[in-house]
Amino acid sequence: MTELEKMRAGEVYSMFDDELDLIRAKAERLIFQFNHEPDRQTRRGYLEELGVDMHPSAHIQQPFTTCYGCHIKLGANSFINWDAVILDHGGVTIGEQVLIGPKVQIYTVNHALDATERAAGNEQAQPVVIGDRAWIGGGVIILPGVTIGKEAIVAAGAVVTRDVAPGDRVGGNPAKSLARK
Q: For 110-153, how does the pLDDT look when each residue is reduced to its tens digit (9 = 90+)?
A: 999 999 999 999 999 999 999 999 999 999 999 999 999 999 99
**Among 128, 126, 155, 56, residue whose Cα is nearest residue 96:** 56
HSE of 21, CA atoms in CB hemisphere, 13 A: 6
Burial class of residue 106 (count of CB atoms within 10 Å of its CB; 0-12, 13-18, 19+): buried
Instruction: Tell me how far CA of residue 126 lies from CA of 57, 64, 89, 100, 123, in angstroms.
Output: 27, 21, 8, 20, 10
The model carries a pTM of 0.95
**Among 87, 108, 100, residue whose Cα is nearest residue 133:** 100
**What pLDDT digit, counting tens, does each position of 11-46 carry?**
999 999 999 999 999 999 999 999 999 999 999 999
Residue 129, classed as helix, strand or coil, is strand
Domains of the chain: residue spans and CATH? 3-177 (2.160.10.10)
Q: Are 87 and 109 in contact (CB under 8 A)?
A: yes
Mean pLDDT of the chain: 97
3-state secondary structure string, 150-161? Answer: CCCEECCCCEEC
pLDDT value of position 180:
56
59 is catalytic: no
Query: How many Cβ atoms are within 10 Å of 2's Cβ, its own excluded?
Result: 11
**What pLDDT digit, counting tens, does each position of 41-82 carry?**
999 999 999 999 999 999 999 999 999 999 999 999 999 999
Instruction: Tell me how far CA of residue 131 lies from CA of 34, 160, 164, in angstroms.
Output: 26, 14, 10
Catalytic residue among 36, 59, 71, 111: 111
